[in-house]
Amino acid sequence: MIPLFRRVLAEAVGTGLLVAVVVGSGIMAQRLSPDDVGLQLLENALATVFGLGVLIAVLGPVSGAHFNPVVSLADYWQGRRTGAGLSARELAFYVIAQIGGAIAGAVLANAMFAEPAISWAATERSASHLWLGEMVATAGLMLVIFGLVREGRTAVAPAAVAGYIGAAYWFTSSTSFANPAVTIGRAFSDTFAGIAPASVPAFIAAQLAGGVIGLLLVTGLFGRAPAGSQQEAVMTHPGQPSTDRTVRPAERTSGR
């Protein structure tokens, strides 16, 4: 059995490294291509795609590789029906670990590039079209994650989720944060990937709304998972012995 401590540690480390990838690659992109914002975004997106895919593949068997409070909340909510999701206590620990890891990841990225360890972002991202972009990005992320799980195609989850996030960098106006913890972390770096603290609450509200929309789409497209269903999962159940292949509903993937 995998103790809660190890699962929480995996969520903190995974979310921290994800934010370090996002922020660090943004800083590097600014320095390599100072006069081309489009190229900067491409470099940032590619690094995020590769980093996220690897983190999901490596840490998924430990914690499910949520790295995202919206995914953990959805796991808890759906588990109330199926009996296989996070408990309220586990959810609280996961979210705390994700937010703490995200902040630490931003500080780490700043330090690696000789930036101030904490520099509040000044990039304002407050507009209705950006909030709509976050709703779309998060709803799509939930559809990808839970859709794959419901169809039993979780083997492709690392590539599919990372690929979706990479695409959403380009087709959403907000460049697809799609993750409250990562959004909070990015407020701690006044660099390419930063978001002003005052813009964070509205982004998180849009992400939560997108999460609800995404779950409604999953239900509409794939139907409700029956009570007691064990098919909604990606990795081996972190709380069960390794010989038991039953797993949790959203123990699968995240979003940046």
Domain harbouring 175, CATH code: 1.20.1080.10
- 94 Cβ neighbours under 8 A, 6+ residues apart: 7, 8, 11, 63, 66, 69, 72, 86
Alpha carbon distance 88, 73 (integer Å): 9
Total domains, the chain: 1
Alpha carbon distance 118, 27 (integer Å): 14
254 domain residue, yes or no: no
What pLDDT does residue 229 have?
Answer: 57
134 domain residue, yes or no: yes
- 116 Cβ neighbours under 8 A, 6+ residues apart: 110
255 domain residue, yes or no: no
Sign of CA dihedral 94, 80, 201, 253: positive
Helices (H), 64-154: 69-82, 88-112, 128-150
Evaluate whether 249 touches 230 at the Cβ level (below 8 Å).
no
242 domain residue, yes or no: no
Task: Give me the tens of pLDDT residue by residue for the chain, a chain 256 residues long.
Answer: 789 999 999 999 999 999 999 999 999 999 999 999 999 999 999 999 999 999 999 999 999 999 999 999 999 998 887 777 899 999 999 999 999 999 999 999 999 999 999 999 999 999 999 999 999 999 999 999 999 888 888 788 899 999 999 999 999 999 999 999 999 999 999 999 999 999 999 999 999 999 999 999 999 998 887 665 554 334 434 444 333 333 443 444 566 6
What pLDDT does residue 152 have?
Answer: 81
Residues recorded for the chain: 256
Interior CA angle at 161 toward 23 and 174, to 5°? 50
Interior CA angle at 80 toward 91 and 53, to 5°? 50
110 domain residue, yes or no: yes
What pLDDT does residue 255 have?
Answer: 63
250 domain residue, yes or no: no
Residue 118: alpha-carbon gap to chain centroid: 22
Radius of gyration of the chain from its Cα atoms, rounded to whole angstroms: 17
Helices (H), the chain: 4-32, 37-63, 69-82, 88-112, 128-150, 157-171, 180-186, 200-222
What pLDDT does residue 231 have?
Answer: 44
What pLDDT does residue 175 have?
Answer: 96
249 domain residue, yes or no: no
The domain in which residue 121 lies consists of: 4-222
Alpha carbon distance 214, 140 (integer Å): 6
Instruction: Give the chain's count of helices (H) and strands (E).
Output: 8, 0
What pLDDT does residue 114 have?
Answer: 97
Alpha carbon distance 185, 72 (integer Å): 17
172 domain residue, yes or no: yes
Residue from 52, 32, 45, 249 nearest 161 by CA? 52
